[in-house]
């Protein structure tokens, strides 16, 4: 189903951590709010990517 090894998906982890923390950090000054915003951003992006991934897998299965 995947054209790459599943271990390649691990590349996503450090990137999402960096992106989420910088996004949170550029929207708040309070550290707890930065972390909360980062968590929400990470969750949102991961969810969005998961939906796209599922749709592509479904299309791959159908075609």
Partner 1 sequence: MSVDEPNLIEVDGQAVNLRNRPLAALLAWLVPGAGHIYQGRTTKGCLFFVCILSAWILGFALGGGHVVYASWQPGDKRWHYLLQAGVGVVALPAMVQGNRMRNATDPMTGRTSAAYDPWWGGFMAPPFRPVLESEADEVSAWYARRGAGYEMGTWYTVIAGLLNILVIYDAYGGPLAVPISGRKKQETDADEGQLDSPKS
Q: CB-wise, 27 or 57, nearer to partner 1?
A: 27
Give the range of 15-23, 45-53, 54-62 binding partner 1 by CB under 8 A. 15-23
Q: Does 4 bind partner 1 (CB under 8 A)?
A: yes
Q: Which of residues 20-39 bind partner 1 (CB under 8 A)?
A: 21-23, 25-31, 33-34, 37
* Cα diameter, the chain: 49
Q: How far is CA 63 from CA 5, 6, 13, 37, 54, in A?
A: 22, 22, 30, 39, 14
Q: CB-wise, 12 or 60, nearer to partner 1?
A: 12
**Tokens at residue 12, please?**
């996503």
């Amino acid at each position: 189903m995947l054209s790459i090894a599943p271990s390649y998906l691990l590349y996503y982890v450090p990137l999402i951590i960096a992106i989420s923390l910088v996004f949170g950090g550029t929207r708040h000054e309070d550290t707890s709010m930065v972390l909360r915003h980062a968590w929400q951003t990470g969750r949102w992006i991961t969810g969005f990517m998961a939906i796209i991934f599922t749709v592509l897998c479904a299309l791959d299965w159908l075609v």
